[in-house]
Every structure is written in C-alpha cells, then in structure tokens.
Amino acid sequence: MLLLRRGLFSRFRSHTKMDPIFDHKTRRFRNPFSTWKDPSTWEAMKWGVSRTPPKFPSQDESMQMFGDPKQNVNVELLKTAPKSLRATWFGHATNYVQFSSSFTLITDPVFSERCSPLAFAGPKRIVAVPLEIEELALCDAVLISHNHYDHLDLQSIKRLEQKFQPVFVCGVGLGTFFTKQCSIPEDRVVELTWWQSARVASSRKHLQGRAEPNSSAGGASVTTGSLAVDVQMVPAQHWSRRSMGDKNQSLWGGFHVSAPIGASSEKSSFYFCGDTGYNPELFVEIGRRCGPIDIAAIPIGAYEPRGFMCPQHVNPKEAVMIHKEANVRQSYGIHWGTFILTDEPLDEPPKETKIACEELGVAFGSEFHVIHAGRSIDASDGPVSLLGLQRKDEAFL
C-alpha cells in the first residue's frame, strides 16, 4: 500500500487545527475543529426512537420529484472526453468525473439497491442508478471519502474491480478494506492523510500506470497528455465507522483533483466534499490552497434533526457558504434524493438551496445547481451548463 508513514505520523505529533489528530493509545482519529461534537450512542438512540422520517415515495411520486435517472443521463455524451472537465451526478455521493485527457474517476460508488451491511434490510434506493457499472465506458480511479455504508459499498467495489482494475484512493487506515476484503493488489491502493497528494495514473492495461504518492501539498504537475491526475485529500468534519469497535480507526475527508487541460499549462479541478459539517475556517483554507476550483460536488441533504446532524452534515445554507468560501466556479448539490437517511422532507433540500443562494448572493442555476441524478455539469460550457436540462427537472422547486 502506498503511504508515506514517516511523514504522516510526525505530522500527527505536531498537528495544527487543520490536521487530523491521531491518538496513538487508542489508534483512532479525531477532528481538530472546535465545531465538532462526537455523535453519542445515547443521542443516536434517542433520535432512533423519536424520529419521524419521510415516508418512502411511490414510483409516481419518485418520478415526479426526481425524474428518471436512466432517461436523464446522456449516455453518448459520457462516451466522449470533455473539453476540460465534466461531472455527472449518479445519485447520493456517487459522481462520475471526466477530464480532458479522458481520465475518468468515480467518487463513493454505491450502485447497490441498499446502503447497508445487509442485502435485505437497511435504507433502500428511492431512485434507480443512471447507469450500471457494467455499462460504463471508463473508470481509472475510485475515490472513497470514508467508510460509512452510504459511501463505501462492498459489492460496488468488487464490480468496479472486476470490470476496470482502477486505482483506489482512500484515507489512512482504510486501505486494508480493499486489499483484504476485495483482494485488490497493494500497488493499486493509495492511502492519504489531509493535505497529502498523490499522482494517480491510469492502470488501463495498455498503459504503464502506477500511483505515485508525493508528499508536497498540491502535488507535482502531470506530464502533458499522460493519463494521470493529482489527487489531494482535504479535511472534512466527519467521522468513520464500519462495524462495532472500529469507530474512527480510518480517516475521513474530501478530495481535490486537478489535471492539465489538453496540451496547455492550464488545469481543471474538481472538489468532492465527502460528508462534512460546517466550520468557518475549514473551507476558507481549502479555497486558499486549492481555489479557484472549476466544479464542486457539495452535500445539501441529510441534515435533520439539526441538533444531532449539525456537526457531521451541512445543511443547504452551509453548502452554499462552502461554495463561496472554497472559491468554486460551479457547484452542484449531492447527498440528497437517493436514500432516506434523515428526517427532512425529500423535496426540501433543493428549495432550501435556492433560498440560501438568494440570501447569499449566489446565482442559483448557474453558479450553484440542483440537478437530477444522471445529469452532467460541464466546466467549459459557460455559466449555464446543465447538459440536456429540461424544464421539468425544476418541478421540485
């Protein structure tokens, strides 16, 4: 597994407020942010017994609110490389991101019917996936923000490995999930800590591709024309747990990915927040180090009840604040309209996002988009760039 252990642990000993804290005794990570509050089992239980989740929509209601992802996706478009950068929302935190070189990555792939350790129980999809893994043309890398079941799905990882043999990038402590549980060779698994970056090259069979970690924040520039991108893990205010006893033993985060546009020295860049709560300094720092960012995928759902969810999941207003603070040109909302995980009404996130944009002076529909699963955002297509958007997409507003 590719990991700069020496640099990593010396960093933890003298952490700053923008580095993760690693407790050597318990071997667990902690958020360094004053805005963090650990989700206690007691509070989770209290919420569990008193909660009033929205009811599961009928197929008609789902179509009305979210459209048909299989109709929304432009399959032919996804077979072509974009001029600079294109991101397609596949529902929840799954994004299909294409660079001008044709390098293609997927974030937090969940293609299964449920996001759960069990195949027959747990949160079930309220919309279909736009395309199945077996229908995708390319996948050179898979980025995993953390190990919660709605972000890391064993069956989806196995199917991606079977079809593409991509490079898997994750936080420190999560690499063994891929090597042990999915039998992925160590040289295709990259563990990163916050601000650490790696040049990730495609492992497409005809290419000599390898992931090469480099310790400098920001990473080295990629050779023009090569099938590679620079992936940097960035902080997020969240936590991890896959099973009893492994809480916070692997690191969570977001990713900033950049690559040259064609043969020019210009770069395009994509920011995937992962799951995160809001902190007033965190996203300003991401903007300072990574901005301007061309496209960002920012969560707008899973925020109620606020008292319990606030430290770990942003609400729509905070999502729009992230867009501004991280210096993003175009953002779109993710982490809503796919699984029922929390208590806000299913159609509330788009409405609240529109209101927040108006309040914060962000142009809704050109700077911050709310799109249906299957739709794409193109970085070079100008300010209004909802590819193939139809008015009925906005029926939820």
Residues annotated in the binding site, as ranges?
149, 313
Short-list 48, 54, 39, CA closest to 340: 54
Count CB-CB contacts under 10 A for residue 48: 8
Q: How far is the CB of 377 from Zn ion (least distance, A)?
A: 23
The residue (of 148 and 369) whose beta carbon lies closer to Zn ion is 148
Q: Is 325 in the site for Zn ion (CB under 5 A)?
A: no
Short-list 125, 83, 140, 93, CA closest to 387: 83
Beta strands at 28-30 and 85-89: parallel, antiparallel or unpaired: unpaired
* Selected range binding Zn ion among 77-85, 163-171, 209-217, 270-278, rule: CB under 5 A: 270-278
| Burial annotation 323-352 (CB, 10 A radius, 16+ → b, else e) | bbbbbbebbbbbbbbbbbbbbbebbbbbeb
The residue (of 268 and 315) whose beta carbon lies closer to Zn ion is 315
Q: How far is the CB of 134 from Zn ion (least distance, A)?
A: 27
Short-list 302, 295, 269, CA closest to 368: 295
Q: Is 275 in the site for Zn ion (CB under 5 A)?
A: yes
Q: How far is the CB of 308 from Zn ion (least distance, A)?
A: 13
Q: How far is the CB of 312 from Zn ion (least distance, A)?
A: 7
Q: How far is the CB of 286 from Zn ion (least distance, A)?
A: 18
Q: Is 148 in the site for Zn ion (CB under 5 A)?
A: yes
Q: Is 92 in the site for Zn ion (CB under 5 A)?
A: no
Short-list 99, 188, 176, 88, CA closest to 142: 188
The residue (of 114 and 148) whose beta carbon lies closer to Zn ion is 148
| Burial annotation 299-308 (CB, 10 A radius, 16+ → b, else e) | bbbbbbbeeb
* Selected range binding Zn ion among 33-41, 145-153, 158-166, 386-394, rule: CB under 5 A: 145-153
DSSP 8-state code for residue 379: T
Residues 368-397 close enough to bind Zn ion by CB under 5 A = none
The residue (of 201 and 302) whose beta carbon lies closer to Zn ion is 302
The residue (of 78 and 143) whose beta carbon lies closer to Zn ion is 143
Beta strands at 197-201 and 211-214: parallel, antiparallel or unpaired: antiparallel
Q: How far is the CB of 150 from Zn ion (least distance, A)?
A: 7
For 195, how many CA atoms within 13 A lie in the half-sphere containing its CB? Answer: 19
CA–CA dist 137, 260 (Å, integer)? 21
Q: Is 343 in the site for Zn ion (CB under 5 A)?
A: no
* Selected range binding Zn ion among 33-41, 75-83, 271-279, 321-329, rule: CB under 5 A: 271-279
**Site mask for Zn ion (CB under 5 A), range 229-268, x = bound:** ----------------------------------------
Q: Is the dihedral of CA 176, 178, 184, 188 positive or negative?
A: negative
Binding site for Zn ion (CB under 5 A): 148, 275
